[in-house]
Amino acid sequence: MDNSCVWCPLDRKCVLGDSSGPFDGSCLNSFTFLKCPDSFCEKYNECSECIDHVACGWCGETNKCVDGTSVNHFY
């Protein structure tokens, strides 16, 4: 919650920016400002929807979409 940066959920990092977005044009038009990020991936209930997104991975053990990939998870 820093007013000099925005959270980029796909990149999983903060970059310099303000309420209009990142100064460098990153984040693919998806960012949050002055709030903690929600899980980007938990809204997907099907494996095929989940893995269509580069920031998400399907957890076969729990049958849930999680932030991360098949190699790295971020929860």
Give 29: exposed, middle or buried? Use CB within 10 Å, 0-12, 13-18, 19+.
exposed
pTM (2 d.p.): 0.48
Report DSSP letters for 39-50, one per residue: PSSTT--SHHHH
- Mean pLDDT across the stretch 60-73? 73
Instruction: Give the pLDDT of residue 17.
Output: 92
Instruction: Give the pLDDT of residue 30.
Output: 80
Q: Is the distance from CB of 52 to CB of 65 less than 8 angstroms? A: no
Domain residue spans of the chain: 1-38, 39-75
Of the two residues 74 and 30, the one the predictor is more confident about is 30
Q: Tell me: the pLDDT tens digits for 24-51?
A: 988 877 888 887 666 778 889 999 999 8
